[in-house]
């Protein structure tokens, strides 16, 4: 990981196990349209948001209640010159205890300011981690996207173009 990789952190009252289970429930916080398994080592899933973003992701490291690392094996963006940005990057979820609470640190290893998608991706990840995933952890209900259900301003703009 480098200082340039996008990182965001949340702190919650729930246990590390509850946070881990929420992270692996990708349909509950990122997209209702995930296809495939999202909980165990070597599971692979497909993500898509309309015709704007598609990705094939594999779980390459899973340490129960501590860490989950995804590898983006394939990626397509409709809105970038290099449609394959993200390919080879590693979204990483690290779970630890801090001051009697549970900390979730999300780092998208490889996602940096040199990527054309950086601002849109930063805003999207911030929403999905700080808002949707946090709500799923705290209340049992997140705010994932789906066709016709954009969750960020950029998704709304891109859905119209």
**Taking a C-beta distance cutoff of 8 angstroms, is the pair 30, 39 a contact?**
no
Q: pTM of this prediction? A: 0.94
Q: How far is CA 123 from CA 19, 60, 66, 127, in A?
A: 22, 25, 25, 6
- In angstroms, the CA 42 to CA 35 distance is 14
- In angstroms, the CA 113 to CA 111 distance is 7
Per-residue model confidence as pLDDT tens digits over 15-52: 999 999 999 999 999 999 999 999 999 999 999 998 89
Domains parsed from the chain with CATH numbers? 11-159 (3.30.530.20)
What's the pLDDT at 88? 98
Q: Is 42 left (phi over 0), alpha (psi -120 to 50) or beta?
A: left
């Amino acid at each position: 990981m480098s200082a340039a990789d996008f990182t965001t952190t949340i702190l919650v009252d729930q246990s590390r196990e509850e946070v881990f289970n929420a992270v692996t429930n990708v349909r509950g916080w990122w997209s209702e349209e995930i296809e495939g398994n999202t909980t165990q080592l070597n599971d692979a899933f497909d993500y898509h948001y309309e015709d704007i973003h598609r990705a094939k992701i594999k779980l390459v490291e899973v340490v129960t209640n501590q860490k989950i690392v995804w590898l983006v094996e394939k990626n397509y963006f409709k809105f970038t010159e290099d449609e394959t940005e993200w390919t080879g990057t590693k979204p990483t979820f690290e779970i630890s205890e801090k001051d009697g609470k549970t900390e979730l640190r999300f780092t998208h290893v490889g996602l940096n300011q040199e990527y054309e998608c950086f601002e849109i991706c930063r805003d999207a990840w911030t929403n999905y981690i700080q808002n949707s995933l946090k709500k799923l952890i705290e209340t049992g209900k997140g705010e994932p996207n789906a066709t016709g259900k954009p969750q960020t301003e950029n998704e709304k703009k891109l859905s119209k173009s």
